[in-house]
């Protein structure tokens, strides 16, 4: 009982202002919430000297570089300048270069413009533009609607428009293709 009496006496001696302070301190944080500062995220990233790799699962499908890349976070639009890439998947890698390109990352679409050059061994294809169009199942097609020339050892093939299946390397030219054979050197 002596213990209880001590506690009672201590309580009676405590000044009223101290009791009010102890009770009020926890209430300080109970006011209305202040609006949090919202950080503005820069919607556009501009990168220089970009090197990239593209994987399908654990398999490296492409690697390359671009002098400049602009990426919009809000729309996933991407634009590149002076892009070069090596595509893997067939028996022989394909080297592709273009002065410009643009696409939408979330849609998996991309179009290269300004003169696209693709090389596989001694074969070289040239066209003003080409675009990648995704298909169900993950694979896609590369298509072009303008003039295309494919040249290699002793031949030149010309047409208007093309469809390329990257997984097989098969290319189909449109617009009445014309083949010139027996040219000797690559034309």
* Model confidence pLDDT, tens digit, residues 103-115: 999 998 999 999 9
Fill in the DSSP letter of residue 39.
Answer: P
Q: Which of 41-45, 57-61, 135-139, 152-156 has the highest mean pLDDT?
A: 152-156
Structure confidence by residue, pLDDT tens digits, 123-181: 999 999 999 998 887 678 889 999 999 999 999 999 999 998 877 778 889 889 999 99
Q: What is d(CA 24, CA 18) in angstroms, rounded to the nearest whole number?
A: 10
> pLDDT at position 149, please?
94
Residue bearing tokens 């399908």: 56
Residue 24 reports pLDDT greater than 80: no
Q: What is d(CA 30, CA 24) in angstroms, rounded to the nearest whole number?
A: 10
> pLDDT at position 37, please?
66
Q: What is d(CA 59, CA 88) in angstroms, rounded to the nearest whole number?
A: 9
The CATH number of domain 44-181, selected from 3.90.1150.50, 1.10.3720.10, 1.10.10.10, 2.60.450.10: 2.60.450.10
Percent share of the chain, pLDDT over 70: 76
Contact indicator for 84, 54 with CB cutoff of 8 Å: no
Q: What is d(CA 151, CA 138) in angstroms, rounded to the nearest whole number?
A: 30
Residue bearing tokens 């293709």: 177
> pLDDT at position 183, please?
75
Which structure tokens are listed for 24?
Answer: 């009020």
Report if pTM > 0.75.
Answer: no
Looking at every residue in the chain, the average pLDDT score rounds to 82
Residue 8 reports pLDDT greater than 70: no
Q: What is d(CA 134, CA 101) in angstroms, rounded to the nearest whole number?
A: 16
> pLDDT at position 30, please?
54
**Average pLDDT for residues 180-185, to the nearest whole number?**
78
Residue 187 reports pLDDT greater than 80: no
Which structure tokens are listed for 172?
Answer: 């189909």
Contact indicator for 127, 113 with CB cutoff of 8 Å: no
């Amino acid at each position: 009982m002596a213990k209880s009496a001590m506690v009672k006496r201590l309580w009676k001696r405590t000044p009223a202002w101290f009791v009010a302070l102890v009770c009020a301190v926890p209430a300080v944080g109970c006011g209305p919430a202040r609006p949090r500062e919202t950080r503005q995220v820069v919607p556009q990233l501009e990168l220089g000297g970009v090197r990239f790799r593209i994987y399908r699962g654990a398999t490296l499908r492409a690697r390359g570089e671009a002098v400049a890349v602009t990426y919009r976070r809000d729309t996933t639009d991407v634009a590149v300048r002076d892009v070069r890439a090596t595509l893997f998947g067939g028996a022989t890698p394909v080297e592709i270069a273009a002065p410009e390109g643009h696409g939408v990352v979330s849609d998996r679409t991309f179009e290269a413009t300004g003169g696209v050059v693709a090389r596989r061994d001694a074969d070289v294809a040239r066209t003003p533009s080409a675009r990648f169009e995704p298909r169900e199942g993950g694979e896609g097609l590369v298509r072009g609607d303008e003039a295309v020339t494919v040249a290699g050892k002793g031949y030149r093939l010309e047409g208007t428009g093309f469809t390329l299946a990257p997984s097989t390397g098969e290319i189909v030219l449109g617009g009445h293709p014309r083949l010139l054979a027996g040219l000797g050197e690559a034309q």
